[in-house]
A and B are shown apart, each in its own frame.
Chain A
């Protein structure tokens, strides 16, 4: 059984359709890349999966660990191990990164019936994770994302991911705004998180990141549909030829465009 099963998902904002029939199946241990031009619906898909309330699902279903994902509240999804690294991380003035993360981790642990961590245990965990992704200690005691540079914000997302240790991580353009060194560090963090038990969906529109995070599957999302899926070599073709050839090739894409990925 796959970890995530998206079937014929239609969603949009107030009468405006954005996603028009997404099919996607993500198995444990896999890395999937979703690529597509700006405005094609990548963030919308990520947002729908995470439960952003602005989006309305009009058709289709999503199973996560065999359960109806769309019936869960955003915080329940998070506690069940779904993590979204935001394309635009949000600032929370006056709340330190440490405090925020500890509250988040303990909310998740509580939900799972695991004992909550006290301050000392939490600090020990944070220290360990900081090493893994080379995270600057000074950012820990600053308010969440406030005054962070674009790159620092993205790194903070990955740092949070490392601490929260999700089962399914969705990274929404975590690579944009990163220089090559930061990119490498972020990718490293993601690769270390990889295990046979979890999966990562990487949303990007450059193939650059995929040199470091090597996907098992690449899906092309255009106009709210996955119009082509393939292995990691598809990303290279996209890099070279852009998206137009796919548009031409697929023409009027059928709503049930097949998505590869699961076995």
Chain B
């Protein structure tokens, strides 16, 4: 028994392979946060006055707020005055096309397996790459433009499409929503903006790749996706960071809006540096993601595979306002070594006949702690609302933990809410069975874990699913044996 356990644990020890640092000159703000820093960020980005005012208001909110203490994670206090809130690779002039992008940056993305060259086409995925705080390149822009689709960096959207940004910014996650969302609203540096006009089905996956490079830098990006009536978009987000022995803060906000009959599918493969085996370093991933099914028959799906970060604090949710709207949350969260994750979703049923599905798969190995925290909130007028939740936990070894905190609030008697939960330990019997058929321990664990996650992986676009499976293997390597 203990042999199996220690074998399982040996598997989890492959090095983080995205941990390199790119040697690039950065234009950074001094450490710390105050109104001047916010003004500096805003002016660096050449923002209009209304944007600055929005930020300052958010900052005012933030000053009155406290860091949440309820998540089931523990970490040393964060000194918000010791963080650098803005860092941009030089030159600060935004490149017009790829030939103007620093070749070092292009190389960095190549190392990550991301191609910024349109000629390579990256299997038809349009990419917006965010390096530290700024967006460096958006591919396929013209092609999308022909369909009326806007896909650009957030800063560009503020300049070029102010009316859309004004209309939707903060409409799903208000600036004062929570401590980290308020912080993001005050200091967000860049991110992606995406607008799909009425009736348009976006012909390719849109993708953002986030990379934290500079030391002691926080990354505060903001993504806003709007799908007009009958529009469809599938959006992918990936992230990596260098290995550093200090913790780095990542506090993003993502807002999704779906109008009548629109559908937004948002997939994340989160692979921020998780820290070393003893828990030194790693990203604090404190993220607010929310979608608003504003229109009838609209549908928003979140699919996430979370393998990285020292600490993850994230509850992608959906506000189901339009009648017959659908919210979905499919999640795989892995915690190995000293990683901690408190993640789940919030489904708020407001309109009639709204439906939500929650499938959460938590995998813990090493000393990892994995909590599912979910809220299903059925409001008074949500006649015929339905929810199905399934939360499964898989334990590898006996020093890790899995916890489930489902909250259910139902104010309409016609609602149907179902919750299923299970916790299982990866069985020695299963591993032995695989080995008896010729598979290595590592392959056996991979196979069993991937089988466990199947319902989530099948929601991911093809290339992403393959990547996610590999990542899972890497992040659990050495954790079973």
* Residue pair A53, B432 in contact (C-beta under 8 Å): yes
Q: Across the interface, do B438 and A78 meet the contact criterion of CB distance under 8 Å?
A: yes
Asked if residues A164 and B438 are in contact (CB atoms below 8 Å), the reply is yes
B39 CB to closest chain A CB, in angstroms?
A: 52
B430:A75 contact, CB within 8 angstroms = no
* Cα A164 to Cα B447 with chains together (Å): 19
Q: Do A107 and B439 touch across chains, with their CB atoms under 8 A apart?
A: yes
- Does A86 sit within 8 A of B, measured CB to CB? yes
Which of A88-96, A130-138, A223-231, A251-259 binds B? Answer: A88-96
A1 at the interface (CB under 8 A from B): no
Is A164 in contact with B436, judged by CB distance below 8 angstroms? no
Is B451 in contact with chain A by the CB < 8 A criterion? yes
Does B437 touch A at the CB level, under 8 Å? yes
Q: Closest A-chain residue to B392, C-beta based?
A: A93
Contact of A53 among B4, B430, B433, B452 (CB under 8 A): B4
Residue pair A95, B438 in contact (C-beta under 8 Å) = no
- Of the candidates A74, A79, A104, A164, the one whose C-beta lies within 8 Å of that of B432 is A74
Q: Does A84 contact B (CB under 8 A)?
A: yes
Q: Please tell me if the beta carbons of A143 and B451 are within 8 angstroms of each other in the complex.
A: yes
Chain B residues positioned under 8 Å from A89 (CB to CB): 433
Nearest CB of A to B412, in Å: 34
Is A73 positioned at the interface, with any CB of B under 8 Å from its CB?
Answer: yes
Across-interface contacts of A94 in B (CB, < 8 A):
450-455
* B437 in contact with A78 (CB, 8 Å): yes
Give the interface centre of B1, B437, B438, B450 by most chain A CB atoms within 10 Å: B438
- Tell whether, in the assembled complex, residue A92 and residue B440 are in contact, meaning their CB atoms are under 8 Å apart: no
Could you tell me the distance between the alpha carbons of A100 and B428 in the complex, rounded to whole angstroms? 17
Residue with the highest number of chain B CB atoms closer than 10 Å, among A53, A86, A101: A53
Bound: A92/B439 CA distance, A: 14
Interface-central residue, B429, B443, B450, B453, by most chain A CB under 10 Å: B429
Contacts of A247 in B (CB 8 A): none
In the bound assembly, the distance between CA atoms of A103 and B438 in angstroms comes to 9
Q: Which residues of A contact B436 (CB under 8 A)?
A: 50-51, 74-75, 77-78, 83-84, 86
With known contacts A94-B451, A103-B447, A160–B429 Cβ distance under 8 A: no
Count how many chain B residues have C-beta atoms less than 8 Å from C-beta atoms of the other chain: 26
Please give, as numbers and ranges, the residues of chain A lying within 8 Å of B439 by CB-CB distance. Answer: 75, 103-104, 107
Task: Name the distance in Å between B413's Cβ and chain A's nearest Cβ.
Answer: 35
Instruction: Report A-chain residues with C-beta under 8 Å of the C-beta of B441.
Output: 75
Closest to A73 in B: B435
A180 interface residue per 8 A CB criterion:
no
Q: Please pick, from A54, A86, A99, A107, the residue contacting B438 in the complex, using a CB distance under 8 A.
A: A107
Q: Which residues of A contact B452 (CB under 8 A)?
A: 93-94
**Least CB distance, B390 to chain A, in whole angstroms:** 13
Tell me the complex Cα distance, A137–B128, Å.
Answer: 45
* Residue B119 is within 8 A (CB to CB) of chain A in the complex: no
- Are A92 and B438 closer than 8 Å at their CB atoms? no
A127 at the A/B interface (Cβ < 8 Å)?
A: no
Minimum C-beta distance from B295 to chain A (A): 35
In angstroms, Cα B250 to Cα A151, docked, is 53
Q: Which residues of B contact A107 (CB under 8 A)?
A: 437-440, 443
In B199-257, the 8 Å CB interface with A consists of none
Q: Mark A19-39, 1 if CB is under 8 A from B, else 0.
A: 000000000000000000000
CA distance A108 to B435 in the complex (A): 11
Within 8 A of A (CB), among B444-469: 447-448, 450-455
Is A52 interfacial (CB-CB < 8 Å)?
yes
A111 an interface residue at 8 Å Cβ cutoff?
yes
Contact A86 B433 (CB under 8 A): yes
Residues A92 and B434 in contact in the complex (CB < 8 Å), given A53-B3, A103-B443: yes
**Which B residues are in CB contact (< 8 Å) with A84?**
436
Which listed residue, B440, B454, B455, touches A75 by the CB 8 Å rule?
Answer: B440
Whole-angstrom distance between the Cβ of B473 and the nearest chain A Cβ: 13
In the complex, residue of chain B having the shortest beta-carbon distance to the beta carbon of A77: B436
**B384 CB-CB contact with A under 8 Å:** no
> Is the CB–CB distance between B443 and A95 below 8 Å?
no
B281: A residues at CB distance < 8 A: none
Contacts of B430 in A (CB 8 A): 90-92
Chain B residues 1 to 28 lying within 8 A of chain A, measured CB to CB, are 1, 3-4
Residue in B1, B443, B447 whose CB lies within 8 Å of A92? B447
Q: Which residues of A contact B451 (CB under 8 A)?
A: 92-95, 143
B60 at interface, CB cutoff 8 A? no
B437 → chain A closest CB, angstroms: 4
Judged by a CB distance under 8 angstroms, whether B279 is at the interface is no
Q: What does the 1/0 interface line of A143-161 toward B look like (CB < 8 Å)?
A: 1000000000000000010
B residues neighboring A (CB under 8 Å): 1, 3-4, 427-430, 432-441, 443, 447-448, 450-455
Given A84-B436, A90-B430, 5 more A-B residue pairs with CB atoms under 8 Å apart are A51-B436, A52-B432, A53-B4, A78-B435, A104-B437
Nearest 3 CB-CB pairings of A with B = A94-B451, A95-B451, A104-B437
Q: Could you jot down 5 A-B contacts, CB within 8 Å? A: A50-B436, A92-B434, A92-B447, A100-B447, A103-B447
Interface of A toward B, CB cutoff 8 Å: 50-54, 73-75, 77-79, 83-84, 86, 89-95, 99-101, 103-105, 107-108, 111, 143, 160, 164
